[in-house]
Amino acid sequence: MSPVLHLHEPGAMAEGGRMTDPIMVTAATTLIAWATTELAQSGRAAVSSLIGFLRTRFQHDPSSHAVLEGALQQPSPEAVGRLAELLDSESRRDRAFGAELRARWSQVEVTLAEGAGGVANSVSGDVHGSVVQARDVHGGIHLGDGPARR
């Protein structure tokens, strides 16, 4: 089981009365959990890369940098909430940053799932036709309108 903490109540309000993006809450929470847990090497590398990306992003913004470092060094529900709000706000302000953060977070999730013995299936982009994502299939898979071949 991966160490994903749920410190932020679902549907919690950010400052200004808007909902904080749940992905940003989960990403911030897991970053903190992994930063304070003994990590497997692959998980450590993936999360460290994401933390490095965020440190670089906020290096010239003292208040944002303080939010990030505060959450990493002294995690608490409040610190995680502030980090989630920062990531959410910055993602809304700069769509390219948001897209990059989500892509990097997706890689972290894949690495964590694989490290925990899980399966990480991912489909991105436009899909035209059927997509099957599975781990263990015993028997056949039939797609379409025609009769199944036996």
Q: What value does the mean pLDDT of the chain take?
A: 77
The stretches of 18-94 forming alpha helices (DSSP H) are 22-35, 41-58, 62-73, 77-93
Q: How confident is the model at residue 6 (pLDDT cuts 50, 70, 90)?
A: very low
Residues 6+ away with beta carbon under 8 Å from 89: 14
User: Greatest CA span in the chain, whole angstroms?
Assistant: 65
Q: Which residue has the tokens 């035209």?
A: 128
What is the chain's Cα-based Rg? 19
- pLDDT for 1: 44
Q: Is this model's pTM higher than 0.75 or not? A: no
Residue type, 101: L
